[in-house]
């Protein structure tokens, strides 16, 4: 009888453990912000954050699954539990930190830059496009320029090409490939601006256990230098590393 009770207890315990282990961490991203995250030709999430996220999950011994969502709804969907992390090139800011929690940054505070069709644009008075609900949009609104907001990063650049806006303001790492491939059509304008506290993973404030796991995994990638290798691979030699 005693063994029976013990075995059931052991079974119940292991079942509980199995349940805890089988939890899948759903990683929410935008899938429209190369090289941070984008959909490749197969329609899968790809990019710096895909590679980073997969490595972090491996180190933290978690099973992860990728989910794409609209940028505007990315925080509400996290707090209501539709996925468990945001890994979408999201800069750590005080406003966001009030609503969600961040891990330590996995990209150092990076420059944002203006890109326009000619070099003589005054970015303080021009019409500047930026993606809605980003720190860049906030900065443009404060700078005195007329802000033109778009839902996706792609549209912000397209608006400069078709003359709707004089310049676009975005993460420099996002703009570098675009300027390079444009064949001289687009160029950087004005000076770079340092915004935010780097890019980190967003998690629910109550999810401290998961945050600690990812925090530790990011730290271990910083310590052994793999994070720097990854940054250089996706953002080029000139990118800031740790």
Query: Which spans of this chain sit near other proteins (rule: CB under 8 A)?
Result: 19-20, 22-26, 31-32, 34-35, 38-44, 46-47, 63, 65, 67-70, 73, 76-77, 79-82, 84, 99-100, 152, 154-155, 157-158, 161, 177-178, 180-181, 204-207
Strands 24-29 and 63-68: parallel
Do residues 101 and 224 touch, judged by C-beta distance below 8 A? no
- The angle formed by the CA atoms of residues 133, 139 and 140, to the nearest 5 degrees, is 90
* Choice between 131 and 145, CB closer to other proteins: 131
Neighbours of 90 (CB within 10 A): 26
Q: Whole-angstrom distance between the N-terminal and C-terminal Cα of the chain?
A: 60
Q: Min. distance of Cβ 159 from other proteins in angstroms?
A: 11
Residue 231 CA, distance from chain mean position: 13
Q: Min. distance of Cβ 122 from other proteins in angstroms?
A: 26
Distance CA 221, CA 52 (A): 9
Distance CA 89, CA 33 (A): 8
* Choice between 67 and 216, CB closer to other proteins: 67
* Choice between 24 and 125, CB closer to other proteins: 24
* Choice between 82 and 125, CB closer to other proteins: 82
Q: Min. distance of Cβ 23 from other proteins in angstroms?
A: 6
Distance CA 170, CA 6 (A): 61
* Choice between 2 and 43, CB closer to other proteins: 43
Q: Min. distance of Cβ 69 from other proteins in angstroms?
A: 6
* Choice between 81 and 144, CB closer to other proteins: 81
Q: Min. distance of Cβ 204 from other proteins in angstroms?
A: 5
CA distances from 77 to 41, 52, 212, 214 (A): 26, 22, 21, 20
Distance CA 211, CA 225 (A): 21
Q: Min. distance of Cβ 62 from other proteins in angstroms?
A: 11
């Amino acid at each position: 009888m005693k063994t029976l009770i013990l075995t059931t207890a052991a079974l119940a315990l292991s079942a509980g453990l199995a349940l805890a282990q089988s939890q899948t961490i759903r990683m929410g991203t935008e899938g429209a912000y190369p090289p941070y995250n984008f959909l490749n030709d197969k329609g899968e999430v790809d990019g710096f954050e895909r590679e980073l996220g997969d490595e972090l999950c491996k180190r933290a011994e978690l099973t992860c699954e990728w989910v794409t969502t609209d940028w505007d709804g990315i925080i509400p969907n996290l707090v209501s539990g539709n996925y468990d992390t945001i890994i979408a090139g999201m800069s750590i800011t005080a406003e966001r930190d009030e609503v969600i929690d961040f891990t330590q940054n996995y990209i150092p505070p990076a420059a944002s830059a203006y890109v326009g069709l000619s070099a003589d644009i005054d970015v303080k008075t021009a019409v500047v496009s930026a993606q809605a609900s980003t720190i860049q949009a906030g900065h443009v609104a404060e700078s005195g320029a007329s802000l033109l907001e778009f839902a996706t990063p792609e549209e912000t650049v397209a608006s400069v090409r078709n003359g709707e806006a004089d310049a676009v303001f975005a993460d420099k790492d996002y703009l570098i490939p675009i300027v390079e491939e444009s064949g001289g059509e687009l160029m950087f304008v004005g000076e770079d601006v340092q915004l935010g506290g780097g890019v980190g993973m967003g998690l629910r404030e109550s999810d401290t256990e998961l945050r600690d796991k990812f925090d530790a995994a990011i730290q271990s990638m910083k310590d052994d230098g793999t994070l720097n290798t990854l940054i250089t691979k996706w953002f080029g030699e000139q990118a800031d590393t740790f």
